[in-house]
Structure 1
C-alpha cells in the first residue's frame, strides 16, 4: 500500500488559515526523533521549526518568528502535530 498524502484546513483563533499535509511514516519518525530530547520530551525550539517546515504547507516557508504571538504559534504547531500523529 503506497503512501497517499492527506491535508487538513485549519483556522486559528486569530482567524488565520493554514493547510497541513501529513508525511510518510519514515519522515514522521525523523521529525519526532529530531524534535525530542534524550528522555522523549518535545523541545519547542526543535519541534516547532520542523512542523512549520514539513507539515504546515500553506502558507509555505513559515518560521517561528513569523507569528505575532506565541499563543498562535503554539496553537498552530500543536494542531499540526496532532494531525501528523492522527491524520485528523
Structure 2
C-alpha cells in the first residue's frame, strides 16, 4: 500500500485556522524520536518545531515565535501531535 496523506482543518480558540497533514510512518517515528527525551517524555523545545515543520502545512513555515501567546502555540502543536498519532 502506498502512503496517502490525510489532512485536518483546525481552528484555534483564538480563531486562527490551520491545516494539518500526516506523514509516512517512517517520518513519524523519526519525529517522535527527535522530539522526546531519554525516557520518552515530549520535549517542547524539540517537538513543537517538528510539529510546525512537518504537520502544520497551512500556514506553512511557522516558527514558535510566530505565535502571539504560548497558549495558542501549545494548543496548535498539541492538536497537531494528536493528529499525527491518531490521524483524527
C-alpha separation in 2, matches of 1:83 and 1:50: 13
Runs of 4+ in 1 over 2 A off after TM superposition: none
Work out whether 1:4 is the aligned partner of 2:4: yes
CA distance in 2, matches of 1:43, 1:76: 15
Structure-2 separation of matches of 1:9 and 1:27: 21
- TM-score when scaled to structure 1? 0.99
Residue 87 (1) aligns with residue 87 (2): yes
Where does residue 57 of structure 2 map in the other structure?
Answer: 57
Deviation at 1:2, TM superposition (A): 0.8
Give a deviation string over 1:29-58, Cα, whole Å, max 9, x none. 000000000010000000000000000000
| Aligned pairs, number | 88
Report the Cα distance in structure 2 between the residues aligned to 1:7 and 1:41, rounded to whole angstroms. Answer: 26
Compute the RMSD of aligned alpha carbons: 0.3
Give, in whole Å, the separation in 1 of the partners of 2:40 and 2:80.
Answer: 19
Which runs of 5 or more structure 2 residues have no equivalent in the other structure? none
Aligned to 1:43: 43
TM-score by length of 2: 0.99
Long gaps (5+) in structure 1:
none
